[in-house]
Amino acid sequence: MKTGKTILTITALLLAAPSFAGDFALSMISARDITSSDTAMALPVPAAELSVMDAAEAASYLADREAAPESDEKGAEVRQLGGDGTVKLYHQWTRENLEIRYRDERGRAIPAAMAAIRRFMRCRLTGREAEIPAGLIEIIDALQDRHGGRTVTVICGYRSPELNGALASDSNGVAKKSLHMRGLAADISIEGVRTSALRDSARALRAGGVGYYPRDGFVHVDVGAVRYW
């Protein structure tokens, strides 16, 4: 796995776009990874988020090797998993906090809350957003409540084609059709909770895919088919 080379590529990519005042500059990514429509839709990244990815962040992205599910679960009926309907989140790279009730007393997702979650889960590299299914937040909520209501740290939510393409181009193991690219997955950790314990709790839910990355200290959860790696 060419981890060192990929980290340098990502760093060079970020440094090549100092202003972000318009279309996002992507000179380090090949044409096959980005279409003209993708470039036109790219959003400027807030100034506070222009820091270069460090080795730890790049490694967390490189660790993702989830397999795509056989069917699209995004439109499936949301199954409540025992959470209280409120999540407390912290984003490791943007350093943002979000505590919000995402479903009402009748169990329906609250549109304004889901919009705030969508913004929170935006791509770290481009600032672009994607729809986040309530089912994914139900998983995070249930895991949070099973571990004392502690804040859940999000390492990676939505991942744009630009970021995923840059990582996959060196054949480093990143899934070219990652569920992160569809807003269906999140990489998470909870401070004070062993990664293995978080993994076991996620598997016990039987609500989707669970990936275990002990060296990087996080668990991948998604709303795809039930599977483990």
Does the pLDDT of residue 22 top 60, yes or no?
no
Does the pLDDT of residue 50 top 70, yes or no?
no
Q: At what angle do helices 55-62 and 161-168 cross, to 10 degrees?
A: 90
Q: Which domains does the chain have, with CATH numbers?
A: 3-228 (3.30.1380.10)
Question: Residue 19: pLDDT band by 50, 70, 90 thresholds?
Answer: very low
pLDDT of residue 168: 66
Does the pLDDT of residue 166 top 50, yes or no?
yes
**Side-chain half-sphere exposure of 36, counting CA atoms within 13 A:** 0
* CB distance 204 to 226 below 8 Å: no
- Once rounded to an integer, what is the mean pLDDT over residues 161-165? 83
pTM for the model stands at 0.68
Question: Residue 169: pLDDT band by 50, 70, 90 thresholds?
Answer: low
Q: What share of the chain is helix, strand, coil (3-state, %, to 5)?
A: 35, 15, 50
Does the pLDDT of residue 121 top 80, yes or no?
yes
> What are 63-106's pLDDT values in tens digits?
445 444 444 344 334 678 989 999 999 999 999 999 999 999 88
pLDDT averaged over every residue in the chain:
75
